[in-house]
């Protein structure tokens, strides 16, 4: 009986050692050796280990697994493109706009300096001077080249043509009123007296025959009235005005007024524009000064639409973006370039406990097999 127990114990120990050691070697052969071993130029079997040998296939398969089951478009849509994230982005955008864009202590000039424009008021004033100078020069060239009728809209020239008869009637009417007035009377009397005095003795003789100049003035007033109200006089004045307007409308402004001094005009306009615009004063105020409700308007009208459009565009181009990233190839390259020691630690860190249990199981199974073999060998 003692002989039987002794044989069972020995066989159990041998079986346990063989089973545990075999499983331990098998587990180690998953990673070790890391490189192929050679003897007399021949590569030894089972070198390198299974995982180092098949690292490329593992990396490729892991890349496919990540793309097909982990980082899928559906996952990104579910994780990022949802109403909660959209509301968070809107809130953050409104917060940043309120904090930075509509800050009370940050003027428009500060924004321009931050953008790299250190002397914005001077640059704007220079631009204003340049624009005004260009526009005045353009206006000068137009006045020098184009006739008045080309400068005026057609409707204006038509109105002038229609107004000429009215102007003729007005001139004759005002003339008649003037010569019928006391002032006109004195004017006519003074002209007659001066005329007669300028003729010397002959003028005195004429005045003796005609009598007092007052009677002559009344006759002249009557004749002037008859002349001014006569239809022929109206036609004469009207034709004169039409002829002069026809001459005037085909001439340029310099032909009528002579050379104009545009230099002083340009400087005056530039000075006035810069004084009224007060660029530096306006730039020294924050944006909220000019747009007090700007932040609220953006929060209500602009930010939600911009974020919604951004989400829509991003989701519509999600597959394209993922395809451009080529996550499968990225994962494959990263895994394929891992140091084997890191890869070994990664696997062992995940399955270390289970692999140890496999070794222990090898010891246990080997022991049971040894006991079974000991019993069989005893009876045989």
DSSP E strands, the chain = 38-39, 42-43
Collect all residues with Cβ–Cβ distance below 8 Å to 254 and sequence separation of at least 6.
143, 144, 260
Q: Give the residue extent of every domain in the chain.
A: 2-70+328-379, 147-251
Task: Choose among 37, 65, 31: nearest CA to 50.
Answer: 31
In whole angstroms, give the CA distance from residue 11 to residue 61. 44
Question: What is the full per-residue pLDDT of the chain (380 aa) written as tens digits?
Answer: 566 677 777 777 887 888 777 877 777 776 776 676 767 777 766 666 667 777 777 777 877 887 787 778 888 888 888 888 889 999 999 999 888 888 888 888 888 888 888 888 888 989 999 999 999 888 888 878 888 888 888 888 889 889 999 999 999 999 999 988 989 888 888 887 776 666 656 555 555 555 555 667 788 888 889 998 999 999 999 999 999 988 888 888 777 777 777 888 889 998 999 888 888 888 888 888 888 888 899 899 899 999 999 988 988 888 888 888 788 888 777 777 777 676 667 666 666 677 678 777 777 787 777 777 777 776 66
Dmax (CA) of the chain: 193
């Amino acid at each position: 009986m003692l002989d039987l127990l002794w044989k069972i114990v020995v066989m159990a120990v041998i079986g346990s050692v063989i089973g545990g050691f075999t499983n331990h070697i098998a587990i180690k052969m998953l990673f070790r050796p890391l490189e192929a071993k050679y003897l007399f130029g021949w590569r030894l079997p089972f070198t390198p280990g299974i995982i180092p040998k098949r690292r490329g296939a593992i990396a490729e398969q892991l890349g496919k697994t990540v793309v097909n089951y982990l980082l899928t478009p559906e996952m990104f849509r579910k994780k990022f493109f949802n109403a909660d994230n959209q509301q968070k982005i809107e809130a953050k955008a409104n917060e940043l706009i309120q904090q930075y864009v509509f800050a009370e202590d940050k003027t428009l000039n500060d924004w321009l300096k931050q953008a790299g424009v250190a002397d914005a008021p001077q640059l704007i004033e220079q631009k204003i001077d340049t624009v005004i100078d260009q526009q005045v020069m353009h206006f000068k060239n137009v006045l020098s080249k184009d006739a008045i009728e080309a400068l005026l809209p057609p409707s204006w020239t038509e109105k002038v043509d229609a107004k000429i008869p009215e102007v003729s009637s007005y001139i004759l009417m005002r003339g008649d009123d003037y010569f019928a007035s006391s002032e006109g009377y004195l004017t006519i009397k003074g002209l007659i007296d001066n005329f007669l005095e300028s003729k010397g003795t002959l003028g005195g003789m004429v005045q003796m025959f005609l009598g007092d100049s007052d009677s002559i003035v009344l006759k002249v007033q009557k004749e002037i009235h008859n002349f001014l109200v006569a239809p022929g006089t109206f036609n004469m004045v009207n034709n004169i005005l039409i002829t002069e307007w026809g001459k005037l409308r085909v001439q340029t402004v310099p032909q009528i007024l002579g050379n104009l001094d545009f230099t002083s005009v340009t400087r005056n306009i530039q000075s006035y524009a810069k004084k009224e615009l007060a660029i530096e004063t306006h730039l020294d105020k924050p944006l909220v000064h000019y747009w007090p409700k700007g932040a609220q308007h953006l929060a209500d009208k602009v930010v939600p639409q911009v974020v919604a459009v951004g989400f829509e565009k991003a989701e519509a181009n999600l597959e394209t973006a993922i395809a451009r990233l080529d996550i499968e190839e990225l994962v494959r390259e990263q895994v394929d370039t891992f140091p084997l020691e890191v890869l070994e630690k990664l696997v062992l860190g995940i399955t270390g406990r289970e692999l140890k249990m496999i070794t222990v199981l090898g010891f246990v199974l080997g022991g049971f097999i040894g006991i079974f073999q000991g019993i069989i060998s005893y009876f045989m």
